[in-house]
Structure 1
Amino acid sequence: MKKRLGLAVLLVLLLPLAACKSDPGTVGQKVLADFGIGEHPEGYVSGADKVYQELDTVGKTEIKRMNALARNGEIKFEEDGLRGRYYKEVKVYESFYPLDARAAGHQAGQDRGFTGLIEYTYRMYRGAAKPTRAEAAAESASIATDTEGKETFRYQFGPGGVWNGAKGERSNR
């Protein structure tokens, strides 16, 4: 009788331990990992990590688009005594650096997804000074100036971490 009672007590104590044990690939383990309680299985890549990897492709595409839009530049006037001269000024984006990728906030009416930040560096170029606006517009802006800067843009990604191709929004981070 004592032996059976001891076996029953041992069984009662070990049963909850056996019930809590689960394989690393089960739904329970994935939920615990998503909440930061459990460890991610080997080879796991989060949505934000996928988006961060995608930011390199987005940056290459967007730098081409922004430079194509800015190629006509802006015609500016430079005073020189009683006369003045016109010149073209163009912003040329030279490089980019992915900054961050994270899950988007849960706002009403907005699909869940991710946002990514990319910082672009640019340099201003100018054309030779010309007496008329039309001549300045026809001139190419090939003289590098000392004016450099950085701009940060925010991009939206879908729930699967796929970029929808939309242009970015200027961001202060």
Structure 2
Amino acid sequence: MSEIRSRLLQSLADATPALDLAAAPAGDPPAGEDLLSAWLNPWLAGHCLVQVDWREFSTLGAQAVARLATLRAAGVSAIDVDELYDEDGIPLGGDDNDFDMEPAALYLAHVNRELAPHGMQLLEIGHFEDAWLLAVRNDPGAIRALNAALRPLGLVARQY
């Protein structure tokens, strides 16, 4: 097993509750978004990894996140983002002309406050049009190790 694969698997196991390393894909992990779509997604989808469209996060994305097995096991039954909007559907802190608001900053900071009492948080892996979100333990050391394992593969786990 390559050192990069070994480090990645160990960092994922340290950061993610109840991860089945025996089910990990064979071979060396690819770099970039292929790591997420072709290597991690078939293994971790539904457990701790989800791909979401930011334009639909307040509905479908929040529901998909709440269905992650690691979050359900931690006691999370729903993710509520309704309080992020005013009565006209405008994000609080923004205005009609504010189209540059970073969706990850808007949603993930709020969701992570909801997840904190459960000892969990969401990380955005990479920075793509559709977001790849990974549910991990709220453990700074494990998150640093995960970032160190992702860097050689051209990715970073962003915290909010």
Is the TM value for this pair above 0.5? Answer: no
So what's the TM-score if we normalise by structure 2?
Answer: 0.21
So what's the TM-score if we normalise by structure 1?
Answer: 0.20
Higher helix share: 2
Higher strand share: 1
Higher RCO (C-alpha 8 Å, min separation 6): 2
